Chain A
Amino acid sequence: MRKSKTAVVNTQSPATDSDLSIPQSFTVTVSVRRFNPDVDQETYLQDFEVEMYATDRVLDALHKIKWEQDGSLSFRRSCGHGICGSDAMRINGLNRLACKTLMKDLDVTKPIIIEAIKGLPLEKDLIVDMEPFFAAYREVLPFLMPSGAEPERERIQSQEDRARFDDSTKCILCAACTTSCPVFWTDNQYFGPQAIVGAHRFIFDSRDSGAASRLEVLNSKEGVWRCRTTFNCTDACPRGIQITQAIAEVKQALIRGKI
Protein backbone atom coordinates (compact mmCIF):
# COMPACT_ATOMS: atom_id res chain seq x y z
CA MET A 1 0.00 0.00 0.00
CA ARG A 2 1.24 3.46 -0.90
CA LYS A 3 2.12 5.45 2.16
CA SER A 4 1.00 8.87 1.01
CA LYS A 5 -2.49 7.71 0.07
CA THR A 6 -3.05 5.97 3.40
CA ALA A 7 -1.99 9.10 5.22
CA VAL A 8 -4.55 11.20 3.40
CA VAL A 9 -7.31 8.74 4.11
CA ASN A 10 -6.36 8.58 7.78
CA THR A 11 -6.50 12.33 8.26
CA GLN A 12 -9.99 12.48 6.80
CA SER A 13 -11.60 9.53 8.50
CA PRO A 14 -9.44 6.86 10.12
CA ALA A 15 -12.35 4.49 10.74
CA THR A 16 -13.25 4.04 7.06
CA ASP A 17 -9.80 2.88 5.99
CA SER A 18 -10.91 -0.74 5.85
CA ASP A 19 -14.18 0.22 4.11
CA LEU A 20 -12.24 1.71 1.24
CA SER A 21 -10.05 -1.30 0.66
CA ILE A 22 -12.83 -3.91 0.87
CA PRO A 23 -15.86 -3.50 -1.42
CA GLN A 24 -19.08 -3.56 0.58
CA SER A 25 -21.92 -5.86 -0.36
CA PHE A 26 -25.55 -5.01 0.15
CA THR A 27 -28.93 -6.71 -0.07
CA VAL A 28 -31.10 -5.96 -3.08
CA THR A 29 -34.69 -6.94 -3.70
CA VAL A 30 -35.11 -8.31 -7.19
CA SER A 31 -38.70 -8.49 -8.30
CA VAL A 32 -39.10 -10.86 -11.24
CA ARG A 33 -42.26 -11.19 -13.30
CA ARG A 34 -42.81 -14.93 -13.32
CA PHE A 35 -44.93 -17.08 -15.58
CA ASN A 36 -45.16 -20.84 -15.82
CA PRO A 37 -47.45 -21.81 -18.73
CA ASP A 38 -48.25 -25.19 -17.11
CA VAL A 39 -49.59 -23.69 -13.89
CA ASP A 40 -50.24 -19.95 -14.17
CA GLN A 41 -53.08 -18.16 -15.89
CA GLU A 42 -51.37 -14.80 -15.50
CA THR A 43 -47.95 -13.37 -14.75
CA TYR A 44 -47.05 -12.25 -11.23
CA LEU A 45 -44.13 -10.51 -9.53
CA GLN A 46 -42.00 -12.56 -7.15
CA ASP A 47 -39.46 -10.92 -4.84
CA PHE A 48 -36.01 -12.34 -4.15
CA GLU A 49 -33.39 -10.96 -1.76
CA VAL A 50 -29.84 -11.19 -3.08
CA GLU A 51 -26.46 -10.14 -1.77
CA MET A 52 -24.80 -7.93 -4.39
CA TYR A 53 -21.81 -5.70 -4.97
CA ALA A 54 -21.98 -2.38 -6.80
CA THR A 55 -19.98 -3.85 -9.68
CA ASP A 56 -22.29 -6.86 -10.08
CA ARG A 57 -24.55 -7.12 -13.10
CA VAL A 58 -28.28 -7.80 -13.11
CA LEU A 59 -27.33 -11.11 -14.75
CA ASP A 60 -25.35 -11.99 -11.61
CA ALA A 61 -28.44 -11.39 -9.52
CA LEU A 62 -30.48 -13.69 -11.77
CA HIS A 63 -27.75 -16.34 -11.57
CA LYS A 64 -27.72 -16.12 -7.78
CA ILE A 65 -31.50 -16.54 -7.67
CA LYS A 66 -31.44 -19.50 -10.05
CA TRP A 67 -28.45 -21.24 -8.50
CA GLU A 68 -29.14 -20.60 -4.82
CA GLN A 69 -32.84 -19.87 -4.34
CA ASP A 70 -35.15 -21.01 -7.12
CA GLY A 71 -33.88 -23.28 -9.86
CA SER A 72 -37.11 -22.95 -11.81
CA LEU A 73 -36.39 -19.32 -12.76
CA SER A 74 -35.99 -19.29 -16.54
CA PHE A 75 -34.07 -16.77 -18.60
CA ARG A 76 -31.76 -16.75 -21.63
CA ARG A 77 -28.11 -15.86 -21.53
CA SER A 78 -25.05 -17.08 -23.30
CA CYS A 79 -21.87 -15.03 -23.40
CA GLY A 80 -22.70 -12.73 -20.51
CA HIS A 81 -20.59 -9.96 -22.04
CA GLY A 82 -23.00 -7.99 -24.19
CA ILE A 83 -22.31 -9.55 -27.56
CA CYS A 84 -24.50 -12.64 -28.00
CA GLY A 85 -27.73 -10.69 -27.55
CA SER A 86 -29.51 -13.36 -25.50
CA ASP A 87 -30.44 -11.58 -22.30
CA ALA A 88 -32.46 -8.56 -23.36
CA MET A 89 -35.14 -7.90 -20.75
CA ARG A 90 -37.10 -5.08 -19.21
CA ILE A 91 -35.19 -3.79 -16.20
CA ASN A 92 -37.16 -1.18 -14.24
CA GLY A 93 -39.34 -0.62 -17.27
CA LEU A 94 -36.56 -0.21 -19.83
CA ASN A 95 -35.17 -2.70 -22.33
CA ARG A 96 -31.61 -3.51 -21.34
CA LEU A 97 -29.14 -6.39 -21.51
CA ALA A 98 -28.94 -7.98 -18.04
CA CYS A 99 -25.21 -8.52 -18.61
CA LYS A 100 -24.53 -4.85 -19.31
CA THR A 101 -26.59 -3.35 -16.48
CA LEU A 102 -24.62 -2.84 -13.27
CA MET A 103 -26.03 -2.55 -9.75
CA LYS A 104 -24.32 0.81 -9.28
CA ASP A 105 -26.38 2.26 -12.13
CA LEU A 106 -29.69 1.22 -10.55
CA ASP A 107 -31.54 2.48 -7.50
CA VAL A 108 -30.87 -0.47 -5.18
CA THR A 109 -32.91 1.00 -2.33
CA LYS A 110 -36.03 0.00 -4.27
CA PRO A 111 -36.82 -3.42 -5.76
CA ILE A 112 -35.34 -3.97 -9.21
CA ILE A 113 -38.23 -5.00 -11.41
CA ILE A 114 -37.30 -7.49 -14.12
CA GLU A 115 -39.75 -8.50 -16.83
CA ALA A 116 -39.64 -10.20 -20.20
CA ILE A 117 -39.39 -8.02 -23.30
CA LYS A 118 -42.75 -6.86 -24.59
CA GLY A 119 -44.60 -7.68 -27.80
CA LEU A 120 -43.34 -11.22 -28.44
CA PRO A 121 -45.23 -14.32 -27.20
CA LEU A 122 -44.25 -15.10 -23.60
CA GLU A 123 -43.08 -18.67 -23.11
CA LYS A 124 -41.84 -18.82 -19.52
CA ASP A 125 -40.64 -16.24 -16.99
CA LEU A 126 -38.20 -14.05 -18.94
CA ILE A 127 -38.20 -16.17 -22.10
CA VAL A 128 -40.19 -15.09 -25.15
CA ASP A 129 -40.63 -16.71 -28.55
CA MET A 130 -38.10 -14.90 -30.74
CA GLU A 131 -39.27 -16.52 -33.98
CA PRO A 132 -41.50 -13.63 -35.23
CA PHE A 133 -38.55 -11.32 -34.64
CA PHE A 134 -36.13 -13.48 -36.64
CA ALA A 135 -38.76 -14.00 -39.35
CA ALA A 136 -38.98 -10.22 -39.87
CA TYR A 137 -35.18 -10.08 -40.12
CA ARG A 138 -35.11 -12.85 -42.73
CA GLU A 139 -37.68 -11.00 -44.85
CA VAL A 140 -35.34 -8.06 -45.50
CA LEU A 141 -32.80 -10.43 -47.16
CA PRO A 142 -29.94 -9.81 -44.70
CA PHE A 143 -27.09 -11.18 -46.82
CA LEU A 144 -24.80 -9.77 -49.50
CA MET A 145 -26.33 -9.78 -52.98
CA PRO A 146 -23.47 -8.86 -55.30
CA SER A 147 -23.86 -8.27 -59.02
CA GLY A 148 -21.64 -9.38 -61.91
CA ALA A 149 -19.18 -12.20 -62.06
CA GLU A 150 -17.45 -13.37 -58.93
CA PRO A 151 -14.17 -11.44 -58.63
CA GLU A 152 -10.77 -13.16 -58.45
CA ARG A 153 -9.95 -11.33 -55.22
CA GLU A 154 -11.76 -9.43 -52.42
CA ARG A 155 -14.48 -6.94 -53.24
CA ILE A 156 -12.67 -3.65 -52.68
CA GLN A 157 -14.44 -0.91 -50.74
CA SER A 158 -13.21 2.57 -49.80
CA GLN A 159 -13.11 3.63 -46.16
CA GLU A 160 -15.86 6.20 -46.81
CA ASP A 161 -18.09 3.56 -48.37
CA ARG A 162 -17.47 1.25 -45.42
CA ALA A 163 -18.22 4.04 -42.95
CA ARG A 164 -21.59 4.65 -44.64
CA PHE A 165 -23.17 1.61 -42.96
CA ASP A 166 -20.76 1.10 -40.06
CA ASP A 167 -23.34 1.89 -37.38
CA SER A 168 -25.82 -0.75 -38.55
CA THR A 169 -23.16 -3.50 -38.59
CA LYS A 170 -23.07 -3.36 -34.78
CA CYS A 171 -26.45 -5.08 -34.34
CA ILE A 172 -26.44 -8.23 -32.19
CA LEU A 173 -30.12 -9.16 -32.75
CA CYS A 174 -31.02 -8.93 -29.08
CA ALA A 175 -34.51 -7.52 -29.88
CA ALA A 176 -34.21 -4.73 -27.29
CA CYS A 177 -35.13 -2.19 -29.98
CA THR A 178 -38.01 -3.99 -31.65
CA THR A 179 -39.66 -4.85 -28.32
CA SER A 180 -39.32 -1.26 -27.08
CA CYS A 181 -41.37 0.03 -30.02
CA PRO A 182 -44.99 1.03 -29.20
CA VAL A 183 -45.95 0.38 -32.83
CA PHE A 184 -44.61 -3.19 -32.60
CA TRP A 185 -46.49 -3.85 -29.34
CA THR A 186 -49.81 -3.19 -31.01
CA ASP A 187 -48.98 -4.40 -34.53
CA ASN A 188 -46.86 -7.53 -34.61
CA GLN A 189 -46.82 -7.46 -38.41
CA TYR A 190 -44.58 -4.37 -38.35
CA PHE A 191 -41.04 -5.35 -39.36
CA GLY A 192 -39.67 -3.44 -36.38
CA PRO A 193 -36.50 -1.41 -35.90
CA GLN A 194 -34.11 -4.37 -35.96
CA ALA A 195 -35.18 -5.62 -39.39
CA ILE A 196 -34.81 -2.10 -40.78
CA VAL A 197 -31.33 -1.79 -39.27
CA GLY A 198 -30.51 -5.21 -40.77
CA ALA A 199 -31.70 -3.99 -44.17
CA HIS A 200 -29.84 -0.68 -43.78
CA ARG A 201 -26.60 -2.60 -43.30
CA PHE A 202 -26.87 -3.97 -46.87
CA ILE A 203 -28.85 -1.22 -48.63
CA PHE A 204 -26.00 1.25 -48.03
CA ASP A 205 -23.20 -1.24 -48.73
CA SER A 206 -21.46 -0.26 -51.99
CA ARG A 207 -20.66 -3.93 -52.76
CA ASP A 208 -24.30 -4.93 -52.66
CA SER A 209 -26.86 -4.61 -55.44
CA GLY A 210 -30.00 -5.95 -53.74
CA ALA A 211 -31.15 -2.57 -52.40
CA ALA A 212 -34.17 -2.44 -54.72
CA SER A 213 -35.59 -5.73 -53.39
CA ARG A 214 -35.02 -4.73 -49.76
CA LEU A 215 -36.52 -1.28 -50.28
CA GLU A 216 -39.55 -2.89 -51.90
CA VAL A 217 -40.06 -5.03 -48.80
CA LEU A 218 -39.69 -2.01 -46.50
CA ASN A 219 -42.00 0.14 -48.62
CA SER A 220 -44.89 -2.18 -47.79
CA LYS A 221 -47.71 -1.35 -45.40
CA GLU A 222 -45.84 -2.90 -42.48
CA GLY A 223 -42.49 -1.41 -43.47
CA VAL A 224 -40.63 1.78 -42.55
CA TRP A 225 -43.71 4.00 -42.78
CA ARG A 226 -45.02 2.40 -39.59
CA CYS A 227 -42.19 4.10 -37.69
CA ARG A 228 -43.51 6.99 -35.58
CA THR A 229 -40.05 8.12 -34.44
CA THR A 230 -40.59 7.57 -30.71
CA PHE A 231 -36.82 6.98 -30.31
CA ASN A 232 -37.49 4.15 -27.82
CA CYS A 233 -35.38 1.87 -30.04
CA THR A 234 -32.43 4.26 -30.13
CA ASP A 235 -32.56 4.66 -26.34
CA ALA A 236 -32.83 0.90 -25.80
CA CYS A 237 -30.04 -0.30 -28.13
CA PRO A 238 -27.20 -1.78 -26.02
CA ARG A 239 -24.84 -1.21 -28.94
CA GLY A 240 -25.65 2.48 -29.22
CA ILE A 241 -26.86 2.22 -32.81
CA GLN A 242 -28.64 5.38 -33.99
CA ILE A 243 -31.63 3.32 -35.08
CA THR A 244 -34.14 6.10 -35.71
CA GLN A 245 -31.51 7.78 -37.87
CA ALA A 246 -31.04 4.55 -39.85
CA ILE A 247 -34.80 4.22 -40.34
CA ALA A 248 -34.98 7.86 -41.50
CA GLU A 249 -32.23 7.14 -44.04
CA VAL A 250 -34.22 4.23 -45.44
CA LYS A 251 -37.34 6.45 -45.64
CA GLN A 252 -35.34 9.07 -47.52
CA ALA A 253 -33.90 6.47 -49.89
CA LEU A 254 -37.46 5.36 -50.68
CA ILE A 255 -38.73 8.89 -51.31
CA ARG A 256 -35.76 10.01 -53.38
CA GLY A 257 -35.51 6.72 -55.23
CA LYS A 258 -31.75 6.65 -54.77
CA ILE A 259 -29.30 5.62 -52.08
Chain B
Amino acid sequence: MAPIPATLYRGREGMWSWVAHRITGVAVFFFLFVHVLDTALVRVSPEDYNAVIESYKTPIVNFLEVGLTGAVLYHALNGIRLILVDFWSKGPKYHRVMLWVISVIWIVIMIPGFYFMTKHTFEQMFGGN
Protein backbone atom coordinates (compact mmCIF):
# COMPACT_ATOMS: atom_id res chain seq x y z
CA MET B 1 0.00 0.00 0.00
CA ALA B 2 1.11 3.54 -0.69
CA PRO B 3 2.06 5.64 2.33
CA ILE B 4 -0.43 8.50 1.92
CA PRO B 5 -3.72 8.25 0.05
CA ALA B 6 -3.60 11.40 -2.08
CA THR B 7 -7.23 12.34 -1.82
CA LEU B 8 -6.27 15.95 -1.16
CA TYR B 9 -6.00 17.95 -4.36
CA ARG B 10 -2.60 19.66 -4.54
CA GLY B 11 -3.89 23.08 -5.55
CA ARG B 12 -1.61 26.09 -5.50
CA GLU B 13 -1.82 29.64 -4.08
CA GLY B 14 -5.24 30.31 -5.61
CA MET B 15 -6.84 27.29 -3.93
CA TRP B 16 -5.25 27.83 -0.53
CA SER B 17 -6.08 31.54 -0.51
CA TRP B 18 -9.68 30.52 -1.20
CA VAL B 19 -9.61 27.97 1.66
CA ALA B 20 -8.25 30.67 4.00
CA HIS B 21 -10.89 33.10 2.73
CA ARG B 22 -13.63 30.58 3.59
CA ILE B 23 -12.23 29.82 7.05
CA THR B 24 -11.75 33.48 7.97
CA GLY B 25 -15.19 34.30 6.56
CA VAL B 26 -16.91 31.67 8.69
CA ALA B 27 -14.87 32.73 11.76
CA VAL B 28 -15.86 36.37 11.30
CA PHE B 29 -19.49 35.33 10.84
CA PHE B 30 -19.50 33.47 14.16
CA PHE B 31 -17.89 36.42 15.89
CA LEU B 32 -20.60 38.73 14.50
CA PHE B 33 -23.25 36.30 15.72
CA VAL B 34 -21.88 36.42 19.29
CA HIS B 35 -21.23 40.15 19.01
CA VAL B 36 -24.83 40.94 18.02
CA LEU B 37 -26.09 38.83 20.91
CA ASP B 38 -23.89 40.41 23.59
CA THR B 39 -24.43 43.95 22.32
CA ALA B 40 -28.20 43.44 22.19
CA LEU B 41 -28.04 42.42 25.84
CA VAL B 42 -27.38 46.04 26.85
CA ARG B 43 -31.00 46.88 26.05
CA VAL B 44 -32.26 43.96 28.12
CA SER B 45 -30.08 44.43 31.18
CA PRO B 46 -27.09 46.81 31.41
CA GLU B 47 -25.82 44.94 34.49
CA ASP B 48 -25.77 41.61 32.70
CA TYR B 49 -24.13 43.29 29.72
CA ASN B 50 -21.37 44.60 31.98
CA ALA B 51 -20.93 41.16 33.51
CA VAL B 52 -20.58 39.57 30.08
CA ILE B 53 -18.08 42.17 28.88
CA GLU B 54 -16.16 41.74 32.16
CA SER B 55 -15.86 38.02 31.47
CA TYR B 56 -14.06 38.82 28.21
CA LYS B 57 -11.15 40.45 30.04
CA THR B 58 -8.97 37.35 30.05
CA PRO B 59 -5.74 36.56 28.19
CA ILE B 60 -7.50 33.87 26.14
CA VAL B 61 -10.11 36.29 24.81
CA ASN B 62 -7.34 38.80 24.15
CA PHE B 63 -5.56 36.28 21.90
CA LEU B 64 -8.88 35.45 20.26
CA GLU B 65 -9.19 39.18 19.51
CA VAL B 66 -5.81 39.11 17.80
CA GLY B 67 -7.01 36.12 15.79
CA LEU B 68 -10.19 37.97 14.88
CA THR B 69 -8.21 41.00 13.74
CA GLY B 70 -6.01 38.75 11.62
CA ALA B 71 -9.05 37.01 10.13
CA VAL B 72 -10.88 40.27 9.33
CA LEU B 73 -7.73 41.78 7.85
CA TYR B 74 -7.01 38.77 5.64
CA HIS B 75 -10.62 38.52 4.53
CA ALA B 76 -10.70 42.24 3.65
CA LEU B 77 -7.39 42.29 1.81
CA ASN B 78 -8.10 39.07 -0.07
CA GLY B 79 -11.56 40.41 -0.87
CA ILE B 80 -9.93 43.35 -2.65
CA ARG B 81 -7.67 40.88 -4.46
CA LEU B 82 -10.68 38.84 -5.60
CA ILE B 83 -12.47 41.96 -6.87
CA LEU B 84 -9.35 42.81 -8.87
CA VAL B 85 -9.11 39.24 -10.23
CA ASP B 86 -12.69 39.50 -11.47
CA PHE B 87 -12.85 43.09 -12.65
CA TRP B 88 -9.32 44.26 -13.49
CA SER B 89 -8.36 43.00 -16.94
CA LYS B 90 -4.85 42.03 -15.75
CA GLY B 91 -6.13 40.62 -12.45
CA PRO B 92 -5.98 36.91 -13.33
CA LYS B 93 -2.44 37.36 -14.64
CA TYR B 94 -1.17 38.94 -11.42
CA HIS B 95 -3.25 36.97 -8.90
CA ARG B 96 -0.18 35.33 -7.33
CA VAL B 97 1.71 38.62 -7.09
CA MET B 98 -1.34 40.20 -5.49
CA LEU B 99 -1.50 37.38 -2.93
CA TRP B 100 2.11 38.02 -1.94
CA VAL B 101 1.42 41.76 -1.73
CA ILE B 102 -1.56 41.28 0.61
CA SER B 103 0.46 38.77 2.67
CA VAL B 104 3.19 41.37 3.19
CA ILE B 105 0.63 44.05 4.09
CA TRP B 106 -0.99 41.58 6.50
CA ILE B 107 2.33 40.84 8.24
CA VAL B 108 3.31 44.53 8.36
CA ILE B 109 0.02 45.39 10.07
CA MET B 110 -0.18 42.32 12.32
CA ILE B 111 3.28 42.64 13.93
CA PRO B 112 2.63 46.05 15.56
CA GLY B 113 -1.03 45.05 15.93
CA PHE B 114 -0.05 41.99 17.94
CA TYR B 115 2.30 44.08 20.07
CA PHE B 116 -0.19 46.78 20.97
CA MET B 117 -3.17 44.48 21.35
CA THR B 118 -1.42 42.05 23.70
CA LYS B 119 0.78 44.59 25.54
CA HIS B 120 -1.70 44.88 28.37
CA THR B 121 -2.13 41.12 28.71
CA PHE B 122 1.61 40.49 28.79
CA GLU B 123 2.07 43.18 31.43
CA GLN B 124 -0.72 41.64 33.46
CA MET B 125 0.63 38.10 33.14
CA PHE B 126 4.37 38.69 33.49
CA GLY B 127 4.66 42.31 34.66
CA GLY B 128 6.26 43.11 38.05
CA ASN B 129 3.45 45.25 39.49
Contact = CB atoms under 8 A, between A and B. Distances in A.
Q: Do the two chains bind?
A: yes
Interface of A: 29, 31, 33, 44-45, 47, 90, 92-94, 111, 113, 115, 118, 180, 182, 228-232, 234-235, 242, 244-245, 248, 251-252, 255
Interface stretch (B49-57, B66-74, B88-96, B111-119): B88-96
Given A230-B18, A248-B92, A92 B10 contact: yes
A90 B9 contact: yes
Interface of B: 1-3, 5-15, 17-18, 82, 85-87, 91-93, 95
Contacts of B8: 93
Q: What's the dominant secondary structure at chain A's contact region?
A: mixed
A182 B10 CA distance: 11
Nearest to A233: B14
Contacts of B86: 229, 248, 251-252
B11 A230 contact: yes
A111 B14 CA distance: 27
A228 B82 CA distance: 8
A193 B61 CA distance: 42
B10 A231 contact: no
Closest 8 CB pairs of A and B: A231-B14, A93-B10, A31-B2, A245-B92, A93-B6, A113-B6, A230-B15, A230-B18
